[in-house]
Every structure is written in C-alpha cells, then in structure tokens.
Structure 1
Amino acid sequence: MSAWRHLSLWMNQLDDPLEARPSLEESLEVDVAIVGAGYTGLWTAYYLKRRAPQLRVAIVEAETAGFGASGRNGGWLMGNLLGEDGLLAGLPPERRRAGYDLLHGIPDEVARVLQEEGIDCDYRKGGVLYCAARYPEQERRLRAYLHDLYAEGLDESDYRWLTPQELDQQLRIPGSYGAIHSPHCATIQPARLARGLARAVERLGVRLFEKSRVLHWQRGLLRTERGELRAEWIVPAVEGYAASLPPLGHYQLPVQSLLVATEPLPSSVWAEIGLERGQAFSEFSRQVTYGQRTADDRLAFGARGGYRFGGKLRNDFSLDDEEVGLRRYLFGELFPLLKDARISHTWGGNLGMARRFRPHMLLDRASGIALSGGYGGEGVGASNLGGRTLAALILGEDSELLRQPWVLGERPLDSLARWEPEPCRWLGYNAIIRSFVHEDRVLADPHSAPWRRSLAQTLAAGMESLMR
C-alpha cells in the first residue's frame, strides 16, 4: 500500500512494493502464535525456527511488517537495555560483568544474522557519542554517569571520556564540553531490518499474515476478523500498542517519539560535521535526543514526544510547526550550519514504557503467554535479546540468557508493575516532561542566575526519580 511509504523516511526508502501479504482467513493450529510483525515478534519467530525447525509458528500483523516502531525509530542498534545499571547493580561482580557482556554483544549478534540471511540494512558499527554539547551542567552529569559506570566494573573499552579536541575528530559541535564514546552501538536503516527479517522467517517456514488485526484473545486462541489461530503459546509482541490487547495496557505506557530528516547534505557540509564512521550521537539532556548520519547523507534527528490521556495512541504523525521547530532548534544548536537545512521528512511512532523503567521478559505458563517488552525507546537492540530469550523460555532451554535480572522466568503476567490509573498517569508524565523542558531552557541560557540553574536541576532530577 502506497500509504505505508509515508510512515517514515525509512519506509519511503524501501525497494519492495509494500504490497500486503495475505490475511488470515482460516482456522489454524500452531505451536506458537505471535501478535505483531515488528522486531520482537520477528526475532522470536527467527530464533524459534532456527533452534526448533519442527515448530509451527505463525505471526498475525494488523498492518504490515515494520508498520510500528520497528519501521519508524532513529536507527540506533544499541548493546544496552533500559535501566540495565539498576538491574545489574546488586549482582556479584562476575555475574554483573557477564550481564554487560551479553548486552554489549547484541550489535555483533545482529550483524551475524544479517550476514547469514543476506539482509542489507546499512549496518555500520561506529559506536555512539553522548555529548556534553550545550551547557556546562551536561559535562558534570556526563562525568558523574561515567564514574557510576566505572564503579559497576566497566572500563575504557566500554565507555571512554573524550575531550572536546578528541570529540572533534569524530563529531564537530562548536563549544562542546566533551563526550563519552561507547563502541557498543551500530546505526541501521530500521525498516530494511524489519522487512528483511520478515522475509527471513518466511524462508524458515513461518506463516506471516498481514492486515489481520486481533479482535479477541484468550489462552490458546487468537481471533481476527476472518480467521483464528490456536496455539500452545501466544507471544503478544505489540510494545507501544499494548492497549490493543487487554490487560497488557496496564503494564505499558504508550509514549510518542518524533523525528525529522534533512535532505541529503553535500560532502562539504559533512566535512564540517563529521560522523564518517556511522556513529550515533546524542546530547546529554533529559529531553532525550538522538541522531545519525544516514547512508544517503541525511541528518536524521529525533526527540521524545508526549503521552496522551488514557494511553490513547497517536495515529496521525503529521508533525505540526511546533514539533518540527523544536527538533530544528535542537539540531541547529548543535550544528549552526544546518539551521536553514531543508527538512524533507517528518514522522513519529508509539513506543512502550514499563513502570520503573524495567524492561521484562517472562513466560506465564498459566495463561500460555511469553512476553518481552517495556524497552522504553531502546528496542532496536533489546528486541533481539528479547527474541532470543523468549525462544529459550518457550523451548525450555538451560541458557545464560535466562539467568539475567531482567528475565522474570516463569512468572504470571500480574507480577509486572502496573502504571497508576488516570488521571495520575497523564498528570505525572506531563509534569515530568515540563520540568525537563524548563530545566533545559534555564540551563541553555548563559545568563540564568546560579540559583535558578540549581533549582531547575533539582526539580527535574526529583521529577525524574518518580518514574523509577
């Protein structure tokens, strides 16, 4: 469908015709039924069929493979998991290091699959730069963050401080205060990864049905408008769309992230900016920004959006002038020569946020559910780990994957932390975001009085702690 091309820059760049696969129009019995053809669903199907080719696996997708966040994100393939430091902190040093090694190995595992399956998604492992770019408080927060990482047993091979001069060798931001570089990140064209995985699982024998929205589900049964799947295990891989499958919406907060991309920029401009090796970059503010230089020489840049009352999904991602203007302002502050660059694409997507920033992977034997989610915007890499973990849980494997603190094992769904009811969720989330915006505005103003700067930081830090 041509309308799918307008979902994001990434979907617009696809070579395949984007014609919908057949819908589910029969009653099928399978071993594993997966809801959602995004990264989590596709990776779970992939590892299940690789490890147990005899399994009957089917996926039902409401739209098309990659329709959700998997085809709309910023293209950061991170070797990280949201909240990993807190999850690993209480473990003995050897187990903590093993957990970090497992996470840091995610980009290389994805690269292995890309090579094996012949998937071209512009994979470039240039690492990530977390930059203190716009005010001195960012440097202090960034150095404190690095100190905490080293206290957890990590070292310069994982995270290294770059002076402004060292940062200039990779990314040139006028007046920067320095950065942290981590090698454990790659950039990709995310829609090509999703579409390539969809073709790969079909080659392995997975049945993939599109335009097949689940209207009813219960233990062992998924029902769509024209068909049904009966299965021993159901994998609801819907992340930001969790509210569509009650009661999953109690455990996921659907938050929007919004992006823009410039037109392809000339080599003379990139010679001034850098990013020659496919590095991802972010400036270290609480507003959550992220960017990359695309394979066709655009700047793709995003920042966290909002939350709608009652967890209502945003379906129209035609960004308004204010939304585009904020992102232009933010990347223009980093790269003044791009202040007037033409923006060719704007888009956004829904992501899922778990309570206390705790992603989860579990198998609920009583309800026949295997669940991975709550990635909080870091799902490009985390979903690969989630897919491997769910496959191990379903197959009953004895795996190092299952001995990690984010794996709840055989636990009931209601063991997950619930979000507060409305209006508390809406009021709380928006109050927190407003405190972040206020902090950024005060700190970005060099004329702000010291007491105002201190107060803004204290308020924002306190509000942020409410999410944990």
Structure 2
Amino acid sequence: MSGWRGVSLWMDQLGEPLQPRAPLTEDIQADVAIIGAGFTGLWTAYYLKRQAPSLNIVMLEAQIAGFGASGRNGGWLMGNLLGEDRLLSGLTPAARAESFQLLHGIPDEVARVCTDEGIDCDLRKGGVLYAAARYPEQERRLREMLDDYRKQGLGEADYTWLSPQALREQLNVANAYGGLYSPHCATIQPAKLVRGLARVVESLGVRIFEQSPVLRWQAGEATTANARVKADWVVPAVEGYSSDLPPLNNHLVAAQSLIVATEPLPADVWAQIGLSHGQAFSENSRQVTYGQRTHDNRLVFGARGGYRFGGRLRQDFNLTASERALRQQLFGDLFPMLRNVRLTHAWGGNLGVARRFQPHMLADCRQRVALAGGYGGEGVGASNLGGRTLADLILGRDTLLTRQPWAFPDRTIASLPRWEPEPLRWLGYNAIIRSFVLEDRVLANPDTPPWRRHLAERLAGAMEGLMHTKEPFA
C-alpha cells in the first residue's frame, strides 16, 4: 500500500482515483465553515443542505476526505452511543424508550440515506454478537449487562442471550460460554461511505477544500496557511485531531486503535467461523476487541489501542511486527484455524476521547460555534446522530434530537469537562491498562486460584470505574 491508499484496507479497496480536491487559496465568506471532511462534518453538511438548501457551506480538510478516523475504523455502524446507560438513567421510562428508539434507528437512517443518494458502502444489518469467549467471568458480566438492559426497559427484541450452541450457530469461537446478540448494528465499508458522502454534499453545493489544514480557528473564522474563511457558524468536526487544535485539546484527547485484515478466506473456513449475515462481533473483555467479515470475505480485527503522552496524535500507522503479531495471536485464540493465516493489511487511527467518556453535541449560540464529538471509538454511527443534531441546533430547531441528554442547545465549549493535566492522564491510562492486562492473564488461566481471580477482577473493575468518574458538567 502507498499514498492515500495506504491509510487502510478500506481506502486501498476504493475503485476511484484518490486525487485531492483543490486547496483553499483565497479568503472567502460562508454561512457555515466546517473543519474536517470526516463523518461528523459531512453528515452535518448533508442534513443542513437537505433542510436549508440555500446555505453557503464550506468544508476545510487537512488531507483528503476519509484520511482520518472515518476511513480507518472497524466498520461497525452501531445503533448506540458510548455511555448511553449513564446518560439516559435520569429519564422517565417513556422518555428513555424514545431515546433508545432514536439510537437504535441510526443504522436504518444511514441505510435510508445510502439508498436515496446512491451510496454503495456494503451495508449489511446483521446485528452484533458479544461473545463470552475466554473465561467464565465474561459470561457473568454479560449476564449482568443483560440484567441492566432489562432494567432500562429493553426486551428480547433488543438483546437476546445466546447459549454456547446458539452462539456457535452464528459465530464459532473457541470454548465459548455464551453471548449476547443485538440487531441494532450494521457493518459497512466505511471509506466507501465517507467518500460517497463527500460526493453527495458537493452535488448539493457544498465546497470542499482539501489539503487545507486549519492552523487556528475562533468564532467567525477558520484560518489555513494560505487563506481564511469568514463564517456565521464554525463547526470544528475533528474528533481525535482536537489534540492539535486548541482549545478543543483541553476537552478531547487522542487515543489510538489498531486493526489488521487477513487475506480473503475460502468458503470452507467461513463455514467453520460463521458470520454469514454481516454480523459484527466482539470478545467481551475490558480491552476492546472488534471484528467483522468483509464483503470480500476477509476477517478485519481490531484490539487494544494506545495513548501517547500529552494526547499526541500518532502519525505513523505502519504497525510494527509486534503490533501485528499481538492482534494475530488474539484472533487466533478465538479462531484456531486462523493462527497461520496471512495478513494483507495493518493500520490504525486516532480517535477522540472526552473526559468521563461522554459524547456531546452542542451549539454555542453567542459565539455561533457548534461541536459534536467524544465518540470514544464508536463514531461511525454516533457521527450520523451528531450531524443530524448539529444541523437542528444550528438551524435553531427544537426537535427530539436536540432534547437528548447529550445535546446542549446553548452551551460553550469551555463548559465541557476538562481532562487532567499531564502526567496524570498518562499515569492513569497506563495504570488502567495494566490492570486490564493483568485481569486477562489471570482469568484466562484455568488453574488460577479463586482468590487471585477475584482480586484481579476487582482491581480491573475499580480501575475501569475511574474512567467514568463524575465531575460537574456546568
């Protein structure tokens, strides 16, 4: 892989020439200036244009559309939002049910737009499988998760318990203890979606300037090396790249996710593995794993990201031999028949993490700045929700979208929770990850004595709780 195609398997698969659009070379005026031509920016532009076609919208992209997380992710289109249980806990049962319906409808809304606009992104709504696949404590935690869902009013149609045999009928992982299935997820080829959206918004009159990194921005304008855009509204839609764009770096920091893809696998191998309907899957450990079967029959598998001191962006995503080997070992433990399979692609990306792991969609009506982010690695679906919400907030509409607990019709960026200064973030991240690694190692060994299993799990659970420590959101 080389050039723009080297970004990911997804970009490498594109049948189109990856020629950047022209950069911004002169000062211009716009109604809305969007920084970043990824999913959040493109969805915002799309819904604004569909509701207010006369708006003059300009997008500034540092590289090309799809270069960032939108072209690098694992291809899960989830009908969920990070931390939704905490965010919805204070609502009445009726309001909570309405919010869940909104979230669960995300994959169908994306599918509708793709149908209406002629975007083929290999979308398959096969649901998602969360497997208890490596030690019995995973089964207990999944059952506890299911109990929590039931208390929130979600029934069998939303989350179904699968026995080991029922799980094997969809996903044959080694030594499974059972799992959860939810229909509220689709898998996609994300580069096809982001590139398709860029073409659609251009056809609606949006101007996209590529290779035009924004050096600084403020209310009313965004400045590149060669020119600036004066705008009534500014939308910094940069997610993980907030780390390089003050003052967003106080509230969103970059973490990294790393992914590998196998060569296309033959039908007899897939007959052993399953995933015949486009399901996404995850092995239910605290260290995130995720995978899917691509349209051309590869296994795409991501696991265990990273954090760099100061929230710095990672620029080089040529994975090292050890980074590739760890992910191959992890999916080989789940699928022993793949232990020696050839990897054809390995890549990664920067994602945005908000303090308290709380996504947010806000509009500062005085400064006329709108922002959505903090998706925490679940942004393929959440960005569609974010784009719809920002469009309504910018247009001043009171809708179901703008009344959600993650939407703030008149809040400043400064009101978002701030991350602690370094070295506290780096020390905290490493302490948490080490507790997760210890838990996995201890619990995956069937000979570990019960007292040690209990201690490792309690420690990891306590450290996980620290990630969601509450602080005022004022």
**TM-score normalised to structure 2 length:** 0.98
- Partners of 1:466 and 1:409 in 2: CA distance: 29
Q: Name the residue aligned to 1:12.
A: 12
Q: Name the residue aligned to 2:471.
A: none
Is 1:429 the equivalent of 2:451? no
Q: Name the residue aligned to 2:238.
A: 238
Q: How does 1:20-99 map to 2 (within 5 A)?
A: 20-99=20-99
In structure 2, runs of 5+ residues without a counterpart are 469-474
How much does 1:244 deviate?
2.1
How much does 1:430 deviate?
1.0
Do 1:281 and 1:292's aligned partners in 2 also have CA atoms closer than 8 Å? yes
Q: How does 1:165-176 map to 2 (within 5 A)?
A: 165-176=165-176
Q: How does 1:281-360 map to 2 (within 5 A)?
A: 281-360=281-360
Amino acid at match of 1:376: G
Q: Name the residue aligned to 2:204.
A: 204
Q: Name the residue aligned to 1:217.
A: 217
- Partners of 1:412 and 1:179 in 2: CA distance: 41
Q: How does 1:399-418 map to 2 (within 5 A)?
A: 399-418=399-418
Do 1:2 and 1:18's aligned partners in 2 also have CA atoms closer than 8 Å? no
How much does 1:365 deviate?
2.0
How much does 1:368 deviate?
2.0
How much does 1:2 deviate?
5.1
Q: How does 1:375-386 map to 2 (within 5 A)?
A: 375-386=375-386
How much does 1:330 deviate?
1.1
- Partners of 1:323 and 1:449 in 2: CA distance: 31
- Partners of 2:356 and 2:398 in 1: CA distance: 28
SS in 1 for 2:361: strand
Deviation per residue, 1:228-257 (Å, 9 max, x gap): 111011000000000222010111121000
Deviation per residue, 1:403-449 (Å, 9 max, x gap): 11011221111110000000000000111011111111111111111
Amino acid at match of 2:430: N
SS in 2 for 1:235: strand
Q: Name the residue aligned to 1:273.
A: 273
Q: Name the residue aligned to 2:463.
A: 463
- Partners of 2:218 and 2:351 in 1: CA distance: 24
- Partners of 2:270 and 2:152 in 1: CA distance: 36
SS in 2 for 1:40: helix
Q: Name the residue aligned to 1:256.
A: 256
Amino acid at match of 1:95: A
Is 1:229 the equivalent of 2:259? no
- Partners of 2:253 and 2:144 in 1: CA distance: 29
Q: How many residues align?
A: 468
SS in 1 for 2:363: strand
SS in 2 for 1:348: strand
Amino acid at match of 2:172: R
Deviation per residue, 1:371-426 (Å, 9 max, x gap): 00000000000000000000000001121101110112211111100000000000
Amino acid at match of 2:266: P
- Partners of 1:6 and 1:391 in 2: CA distance: 33
- Partners of 1:136 and 1:237 in 2: CA distance: 41
- Partners of 1:47 and 1:434 in 2: CA distance: 42
Q: Name the residue aligned to 2:135.
A: 135
- Partners of 1:59 and 1:244 in 2: CA distance: 18
Deviation per residue, 1:67-124 (Å, 9 max, x gap): 0000000000000000000000110000000000000000000000000110011000
Amino acid at match of 1:117: E
How much does 1:169 deviate?
1.2
Deviation per residue, 1:300-357 (Å, 9 max, x gap): 0001311000111101011112211221111011100000000110000000011111
Q: How does 1:132-211 map to 2 (within 5 A)?
A: 132-211=132-211
How much does 1:216 deviate?
2.1
Do 1:41 and 1:237's aligned partners in 2 also have CA atoms closer than 8 Å? yes
Amino acid at match of 2:336: P
- Partners of 1:343 and 1:399 in 2: CA distance: 46
Q: How does 1:115-130 map to 2 (within 5 A)?
A: 115-130=115-130
- Partners of 1:21 and 1:244 in 2: CA distance: 23
- Partners of 1:316 and 1:199 in 2: CA distance: 28
- Partners of 1:434 and 1:174 in 2: CA distance: 25
SS in 2 for 1:257: strand
In structure 1, runs of 5+ residues without a counterpart are none
- Partners of 1:419 and 1:323 in 2: CA distance: 28
Amino acid at match of 1:70: S
Q: Which moved more, 1:127-136 or 1:172-181?
A: 172-181
Q: Name the residue aligned to 2:449.
A: 449
SS in 2 for 1:291: strand
How much does 1:153 deviate?
0.5
Amino acid at match of 1:3: G
SS in 1 for 2:161: strand
SS in 2 for 1:232: strand
Amino acid at match of 1:449: P
- Partners of 1:440 and 1:4 in 2: CA distance: 36
- Partners of 1:368 and 1:242 in 2: CA distance: 18
- Partners of 1:435 and 1:253 in 2: CA distance: 21
What is the Cα-based RMSD across aligned positions, in Å? 0.9
- Partners of 1:412 and 1:366 in 2: CA distance: 9
Amino acid at match of 1:79: G
Amino acid at match of 1:155: G
- Partners of 2:276 and 2:243 in 1: CA distance: 41
Aligned residues with identical type, % of pairs: 67
